Structure 1
Amino acid sequence: MRKVFLLALLVSPIALAQSVSVETNSLMRLPSSTSVLQLERLDVADYGTLLIPATISQVTVDELHLGRDARITIVPGASALQMQVRQAQLEQGSQITSRGAPGTHEKPAKAGRDLTLRINSLTAEALSVDARGGAGAQGYAGLDGANGVDPGCTWGSAGRGFNGDNGGDGLPGAAGAQVRLELPQDFPIEQIKVWVDGGAGGLPGVAGKPGKGGQSKGCLVYRADGGDKGRPGLEGQPGPAGPAGAVTIQRL
């Protein structure tokens, strides 16, 4: 059973908790009503996920345990997150994720959230941090051209199909995060895995298809020829990738 004991202080944006536990294959989101959170113990079981909202800027944990393939997912935000851990045990496949969010046509991609992670005592096969930027949205698809008008037997010729519109350019990817790790002196450098690549640029918009020409038509005296089809539009250009972030490692 999941047990969470939060004491929200009415006059301070700080929350205190004895323990937070996330069960196997489950998801928990920390409260967004505070900016600073202090925990005695944080336990995310195998394949579980803990979400840290954008409103939280500092998390302090005495004991941290991440089970197999467990995740701490940090929601993108404008302010950096500082996370301080006295003692951590990280199982195989576990990860701390501070990735940006993919963009849409209405909203640009979000950058990876800047992170300062301090762990005084660390037991793990690997420390994995993913702080890549969000991918840009695909460009708008070009509109298809309209079809030409069919001819009549007593008037006019078949109309030419209209041209397709060009596809839009892909939108830019977002920047990777600035990540600072403060780790024990004896934790091997080859067991530290950090990704801060910029987000991929959006795919090019698809070109609009050409409109069909008016259809040929057989009449009593003559046959009306069909019209030519229009020209297809051009595919847009791929969006630029976001700039890479940076990683700083300091030994304690």
Structure 2
Amino acid sequence: MHKVLLLALLVSPVALAQSVSVEPNSLMRLPSSASVLQLERLDVADYGTLLIPANLSQVSVDELHLGREARITIVPGSTGLQLQVRNAQLEHGSQITSRGAPGTHEKPAKAGRDLTLRINALTAEELLIDARGGAGAQGYAGLDGANGVDPGCTWGSAGRGHNGDNGGDGLPGGAGALVRVELPQSFPAEQIKVWVDGGAGGLAGTAGKPGRGGQSKGCLVYQADGGEKGRPGLEGQPGPAGPAGSVTIQRL
């Protein structure tokens, strides 16, 4: 019977812990072995950061304390996160971040991760949540044109420089998250600040430079003229911003 209970705990999707503490100016990542985590106390000291991995879908905390400029950073993921707190004390500048990741040329910008935050009792100057989408990648830079061939004294004329390539268009930004905040009726609305803007579009790709024409050459009998330079490419277009998310405030 004891072996069966031990096996059940090892494979359980719920992880239990008494307390998690993040030291000042340090970074800690919660374990990713379970999809649900229950904590008696979570303390992130001044300027500390706690990472919540993408596979965690629910975190429950009895007592939460975020120090000055402390962060809870939620890693982008395809499923939303439920963060449930019985009693929270948030110091000046502390923040919960659920931002999307910036894009690359190989991967699109990620959306802010959807978040449902429930706090039964809250002591704070402000509640700050940043759930904006990730920024899009810059467009490819256009290649510079090749230089023209220099003339010879007994044959040929100088070659014209090749044109520069056009820059690529910037890539789209990621979408802002869907955020639902459930707070006590007594917490002032003006002290709730949630950002769910779409991520900025990628910058335009730069234009390729024109190649220079073949260089003029002074020969024994005559002067060989230089070639014309090519045309510069065109700059790409900036990428579009991602769509904004939404915010729902529910009073308890």
TM class by shorter chain equals over 0.9
* 1:164-243 equivalence runs, <5 A: 164-243=164-243
Secondary structure of residue in 2 paired with 1:40:
strand
Q: Shift of residue 10 of structure 1?
A: 1.2
Q: Shift of residue 11 of structure 1?
A: 2.4
Aligned to 1:250: 250
Name the CA distance, whole Å, in 2 between partners of 1:25 and 1:64. Answer: 18
TM-score, structure 2 as length reference: 0.97
2:56 aligned with 1:64:
no
Secondary structure of residue in 1 paired with 2:11:
coil
Q: CA RMSD in A?
A: 0.7
Aligned to 2:150: 150
Q: Output the amino acid matched with 2:242.
A: G
Q: Shift of residue 31 of structure 1?
A: 0.8
2:162 aligned with 1:162:
yes
Name the CA distance, whole Å, in 2 between partners of 1:29 and 1:18. Answer: 16
Q: Output the amino acid matched with 1:240.
A: P
* 1:76-87 equivalence runs, <5 A: 76-87=76-87
Aligned to 1:128: 128
Name the CA distance, whole Å, in 2 between partners of 1:14 and 1:184. Answer: 27
Q: Structure 1: which 5+ runs fail to align? A: 1-7
Q: Output the amino acid matched with 1:222.
A: Y
Secondary structure of residue in 2 paired with 1:51:
strand
Aligned to 1:23: 23
Percentage identity across aligned positions? Answer: 88
TM-score, structure 1 as length reference: 0.97
Name the CA distance, whole Å, in 2 between partners of 1:44 and 1:104. Answer: 31
Name the CA distance, whole Å, in 2 between partners of 1:91 and 1:224. Answer: 76
Name the CA distance, whole Å, in 1 between partners of 2:32 and 2:61. Answer: 17
Q: Output the amino acid matched with 1:106.
A: E
Aligned to 1:3: none
Q: Shift of residue 32 of structure 1?
A: 1.1
Q: Shift of residue 248 of structure 1?
A: 0.1
Name the CA distance, whole Å, in 2 between partners of 1:123 and 1:61. Answer: 15
Q: Shift of residue 9 of structure 1?
A: 2.8
Q: Output the amino acid matched with 1:187.
A: F
Q: Structure 2: which 5+ runs fail to align? A: 1-7
Q: Output the amino acid matched with 2:95.
A: Q
User: 4+ runs of 1 displaced by more than 2 Å?
Assistant: none
Name the CA distance, whole Å, in 2 between partners of 1:158 and 1:206. Answer: 28
Aligned to 1:138: 138
Name the CA distance, whole Å, in 2 between partners of 1:109 and 1:33. Answer: 26
Encode CA deviations 1:16-35: one digit per residue, 9 max, x unaligned.
00000000000000011110
Aligned to 2:37: 37
Encode CA deviations 1:106-130: one digit per residue, 9 max, x unaligned.
0000000000000000000000000
